[in-house]
Amino acid sequence: MKTSTLTQAICLTALIGVLQGCVTAKVDEMTYNPPEAGVGASSVVLLGRRHASNYDTERDFVQCVRNHIQGKDNTIEIVEESQFLDALYPWFEPRTAPMHPGAIRELLAQPAVASKIQSLDTQYMIWIDGNTERTDASGSMTCGVGPTGAGCFGFGTWSDESNYEAVIWDFSNQAEVGRINTTTSGQSYMPAVVVPIPIIAPVKGTACDGIGEQLLQFLSAKY
């Protein structure tokens, strides 16, 4: 009896782990002059754009892309976003961040900025712009607790859509050398008959993997 309960619990956990909503992803890439031997000892910085009034590029998305790249090639040194923003304060705040690579020349004309960038040895600056938003949600679910136990009944569904663009700037040439765009969308479901079973579509995670993989191919000598 105990074994049967345990098996049921394991099966349920495995089912929840395996069940995932479907995601549609599209990645467009356009890069020029990728470093033939990788970035070597130089560093790269990934920054989120946060100047728009209606959205911010999520910090956790930038971190996810960073983890994806470093997880597959740990020789690529990626400067932590907050470390870079603090080191170059106030020049990369939402209000003051350069919007085109030509503005880097103006920044480097200032000795204080030039020395900070030199100490970080940054070769590529990658701007990530976009966000994930819930586009639709419907359904209802009721949960209750009684003397005999607790449970939920109902059905919920929602859809998410991600749209991100990564723009690669070459610091030494002060030029744009690549642009990667990803659009993903997916539908998640949550049926509940006593126990709610979430079937989540990893929309943001897929977008992160899509951009991360393309950036990895650009930056790494191994891929």
Partner 1 sequence: MLGLTITDKQYSSLRATALGLCLLLLSACGANQVIVDSQFPQPALDPIPVTMGVYFSEDFKTHTFVDEPEAETERGWIVETGAAQISLWQTILNAMFEQVVYLEQAPSTETPSAQVQSVLIPTVSDLQYAIPAHTNTKVFELWLKYDIALTNSTGDPLAQWSMTAYGKTPEAFMQSNQDAVGAAAIVALRDAGANFAVNFPKVPAVSEWLKQADHGTSLREDAP
Query: Which residues bind to partner 1, rule: CB under 8 A?
Result: 56, 58, 85-91, 93-96, 110-113, 116
Check: CB of residue 131 under 8 Å from CB of residue 55: yes
- Minimum Å gap between C-beta 88 and partner 1 is 5
What order do you get walking across the sheet with 175-196 strand by strand?
23-31, 175-196, 149-170, 122-146, 43-48, 77-79
Instruction: Pick the closer one to partner 1 by CB: 58 or 213.
Output: 58
Instruction: Pick the closer one to partner 1 by CB: 107 or 219.
Output: 107
Instruction: Pick the closer one to partner 1 by CB: 57 or 214.
Output: 57
Instruction: Pick the closer one to partner 1 by CB: 38 or 202.
Output: 202
Place of tokens 């998410």: 160
Nearest to 194 by CA among 135, 131, 149: 149
- Minimum Å gap between C-beta 110 and partner 1 is 6
Cα dihedral 82/83/85/90 (nearest 10): 130
Report the alpha-carbon distance of residue 34 to residue 111 in Å, rounded.
29
